[in-house]
Amino acid sequence: MQSDVKKKILLVDDDLDLLEQNKILLESRGYQVITADNSKQGWELFISEKPDAAILDLIMEEHDSGFVLSYRIKKDNYGKNIPVIVLTSAAYFTGFKFSASTGEEKEWIRCDEVINKPVVADELVKKLESYFSLKDS
Amino acid sequence: MENGHCPKILIVDDEKGLRIGTKRLLEGEGYSVETAENGYDGIKLGTTTEFDLAIIDLKMPDIDGIQVMKEILKVYPDSVCLIATGYASYETAIEAIKFGAFSYIPKPFTPEELFQKLSQGYSRRELILEKKKWKQEREERLLEVAFEKSRLNTIINSITDGLLVVNKNGEAVLYNPSALKYLSFDQIKIEEYIIDKLHPQIAELINKFLSSQKCEQKSFSSEVELKPNREFYVEATSSPVANPDGTLAGVVVVMKDITELKKIEFLKSQFVSMVSHELKAPIAAVYGYLKLFSDTSIHLSEEQKLNYLNRSQIRLDGLLKMVNDLLDISRMELKTVNKEIKEIDLHVIIKAIIELFQIEIKKKNISVNVKSSEMLPCLHADQDEISRLFTNLISNAIKYNKTNGSIDIIISSSGNYIILEVKDTGIGLKPAEKTKLFQEFFRAKNEKTKDISGTGLGLSIVKRIVDSYSGKLAVESEFNIGTSFKIFLPLRNGINNKEQKAGN
């Protein structure tokens, strides 16, 4: 079931240190990682690299840039089939707790999962694997 | 007479003897008497002065006594008139009384008869006058009460707080225009049950008393959002109104507009959220690196290890700076800063700050120029605050500057203000960035600012300091060309006669 080719993960976060840390973590778990520190670059990488999954920080240069990027990726013909995970420590900015658990909420947030920072690397890997195995099977 | 009032009597009779005789008789008894020798004179006298009593002869050559009486009664309807006549008969008696006479006295009359009639008449007059007095007093009092009530109404209608009073059955009994406005009612019907038309929270505040029908003196308050999205908030307080016997008469609700307060509360809690976010980020970054170090399944090269340790240090430096900036802000917020106002030598301060930043200035090869006008008035301010002001502005001017760029620091004065300007040839600001410039934690983010570190609080602190002196801030900037910050600080009146000479 494990494919030989490493799965390519797109990481977008404006915190360079977190970006570096998650990259090292995911690479050590056997993934190939491409990174961007702003949503514009993130979109460009998505188009040019066609990753197998995307992990996006919610708040970047504009308050909703993570949302917007997630939405665009999910609307894209290719992107709608890949898992998109949004990371946030930012329930505060908009005042409500994010979730994508109900079908309706998923529709609205346009991503597959919302995870609160700080992320536990193994939890992240487990989630990714569950999405990948779902697709592969 | 008894009460000290001297009764005024009018005698109208053409008979001279009777006139003078009766006058003498009555004056002897303490009456005040005036006489008229014919009807017309009688009318003239009787209608221009108010007499208590009038004795009018019935048959006079020029005009009928009853006519005279009628004229007098027209003007002074409370006068007591006696018709005197030699031609006594029932008819004349009835006639006279029909037209308003109190009584009639047949001529000739004895003094006793006269006095008797007068006494009766005067008692009657006194009663009439007393009745009049009471009526007047009553009217005055009613007027007073009405005035008081309308005064009270005016007061109630003038207060900005909304006022609503219901009786023990929940029917509206009193309200003011503010209540109508706050509750968004076109009208309130008095004595109509109103509870179920009210916002549920307000209804609940009232029902606390209506349901128990008890009058224990206690109040209940709630913050009620009358319009969504924080557009209109009131603090509603309900209190019981007691009858004299202690039972519940009704409930009074006062609604106070707290929309502004709520807005401020919201901004403050937003600030707190932002602060905790900004503080957590560097901690998470350092924590993340530590986890990398301790993760046995991850191999890090020496270069990576060194890099991560360095990055951790940088993040913690930033955290420390942020904490210090926040403490500054919180001190200014709480106004616990005691300004030590004294004469400031701006040149000394600016020179010291430029010294501090020498390394960064040399690194980017920036030229720094300080210019000041010839005769400058003295600035009186707190040294630390002015120092902070310049530190933040100069630090920004260096950070955002181009290599080989320049910084101009210009001190001048105009009118009642001293003007401090810091100009740079840096990357400048886009219009959108300019509007948010002084917001807490705002930092311009574009390709050019990638490597610039900062807390995002520097300018917010500058603004707070300027505000605390009631000064003004002006920013001019062109993207890619440069930025200028101008601060206008008011000079204290009367103290600035000494002038500083321009420095180097």
Q: Percentage of chain B surpassing pLDDT 70?
A: 96
Cα(B245)–Cα(A79) distance, rounded to whole angstroms? 77
Residue A18 lies in a domain: yes
* B273 lies within 8 A of chain A by CB: yes
Domain B8-134 architecture: 3-Layer(aba) Sandwich (3.40)
Q: Is residue A49 part of a domain?
A: yes
Find which of B271, B297, B319 to mutate to test the A interface (most A CBs within 10 Å of its CB). Answer: B297
Q: How many angstroms separate the Cα of B421 from the Cα of each of B289, B354, B394, B412, B438?
A: 42, 15, 10, 8, 17
Contact B285 A61 (CB under 8 A): no
Contact residues, chain B, for A89 at CB < 8 Å:
277, 280-281, 284
A2 inside domain: no
Please tell me the distance from the alpha carbon of residue B296 to that of residue B226, in angstroms, as a whole number.
Answer: 58
The per-residue pLDDT of chain B, averaged, comes to 88
Give the pLDDT confidence score for residue A21 in this predicted structure: 94
Residue A3 lies in a domain: no
User: Would you say domain B160-257 falls under CATH 3.40.190.10?
Assistant: no
pLDDT at B494: 39
pLDDT tens digits for range B98-120: 888 888 888 888 889 999 988 89
> Which residues constitute the domain of residue A108?
8-136
The CATH number that domain B263-333 falls under is 1.10.287.130
* Nearest-by-Cβ selection for B284 from A90, A117, A121: A117
pLDDT tens for each residue of chain A, 137 residues long: 455 688 999 999 988 999 999 999 999 999 999 999 888 899 999 999 999 999 998 776 555 677 788 888 988 889 888 999 888 775 544 444 445 555 555 545 677 887 877 788 888 888 898 888 887 76
Residues of A in contact with B308 (CB under 8 A): 20
The pLDDT confidence band at residue B1, using thresholds 50, 70 and 90, is: very low
Residues B453-498 have pLDDT tens digits of: 788 889 999 998 999 888 999 999 999 999 999 999 998 753 443 4
- Inside any domain, residue A58: yes
Domain ranges for chain B: 8-134, 160-257, 263-333, 341-501
Q: How many CB atoms lie within 10 A of CB B183?
A: 20
Residue A44, chain B, CB below 8 Å: the answer is no
For residue B21, pLDDT beyond 70: yes
Question: Which distant-in-sequence residues (6+ apart) come within 8 Å of B301 by Cβ?
Answer: none
The alpha carbon of residue B273 is apart from the nearest alpha carbon of chain A, in Å, by 6
Between chains, do B288 and A89 touch, taking CB under 8 Å as contact?
no
Smallest CA–CA distance, residue A18 to chain B, in Å, is 6
CA-based nearest distance A64→chain B, Å: 15
Q: pLDDT tens digits, residue range B154-164?
A: 999 999 999 99
Question: DSSP states of B137-165 as a string?
Answer: HHHHHHHHHHHHHHHHHHHHHH-SSEEEE
pLDDT at B216: 83
B341-501 CATH: 3.30.565.10
The single residue listed with the structure tokens 């004895």 is: B110
The tokens for B464 are 């707070």
pLDDT value of position B500: 43
Tell me if B270 and A61 make a contact (CB, 8 A cut-off): no
Q: In Å, what is the CA distance from B329 to each residue of A53, A54, B322, B462?
A: 43, 39, 10, 10
Instruction: Examine residue A1 and state whether it is found in any structural domain, yes or no.
Output: no
Supply the ipTM of this predicted assembly. Answer: 0.85
Contact B270 A92 (CB under 8 A): yes
Cis omega (within 30 of 0) for bond into A118: yes
Which of B281, B298, B446 faces A15 most closely, judged by CB atoms? B281
Identify which of A112-121, B270-279, B408-417 has the greatest average pLDDT: B408-417
The yes-or-no verdict on residue B244 having pLDDT over 60 is yes
Q: Do B445 and A61 touch (CB under 8 A)?
A: yes
pLDDT digits over B166-187, tens only? 999 999 999 999 999 999 998 8
B342 touching chain A per CB within 8 A:
no
pLDDT band for position B214 (cuts 50, 70, 90): confident
Residue B46: predicted pLDDT: 92
In chain A, the number of structural domains is 1
Contact A92 B273 (CB under 8 A): yes
CB contact under 8 A, B277 and A61: no
Chosen from B271, B273, B313 to mutate, greatest number of chain A CBs within 10 A: B273
- Tell me what pLDDT residue B246 has: 87
Percent of chain B residues past pLDDT 90, beyond the cut: 50
Q: Can you give the pLDDT at residue B217?
A: 75
Give the range among A100-109, B130-139, B375-384 with minimum mean pLDDT: A100-109
Task: Answer whether B311 touches A (CB < 8 Å).
Answer: yes
Interface probe for A, chosen from B445, B449, B452 (most Cβ of A below 10 Å), is B445
Interface contact flag, A17 B280, Cβ < 8 Å: no
- Total-model pTM: 0.60
Shortest CB distance from A18 goes to which of B277, B288, B446? B288
Please give, rounded to a whole number of angstroms, the shortest distance from the CA of B185 to a CA of chain A.
32
Instruction: List chain B residues with CB under 8 Å of A37.
Output: 450
Strands B53-57 and A113-116 come out as unpaired
Q: Does B295 touch chain A (CB under 8 A)?
A: yes
**pLDDT mean over B122-128:** 88
Say if residues B454 and B443 touch (Cβ distance below 8 Å): yes
The CA-CA-CA angle for residues A46, A51, A55, to 5°, reads 80
For every residue of chain A, which 3-state class applies, written as one string? Answer: CCCCCCCEEEEECCCHHHHHHHHHHHHHCCCEEEEECCHHHHHHHHHHHCCCEEEEECCCCCCCHHHHHHHHHHHCCCHHHCCEEEEECCHHHHCCCCCCCCHHHHHHHCCCEEEECCCCHHHHHHHHHHHHHHHHC
CATH number for position A15: 3.40.50.2300
Kindly tell me if the per-residue pLDDT of B211 is higher than 60: yes
Q: Is A30 exposed, middle or buried (0-12, 13-18, 19+ CB in 10 A)?
A: exposed
**Does A21 contact B445 at a Cβ distance shorter than 8 Å?**
no
Asked if the C-beta of A18 comes within 8 angstroms of chain B's C-beta atoms, the answer is: yes
CB proximity B274 to A under 8 Å: yes
Name the residue facing A89 among B280, B289, B295 (closest C-beta).
Answer: B280
Cβ contacts of A20 on chain B, cutoff 8 Å: 308, 311
Identify the pLDDT of residue B501: 42
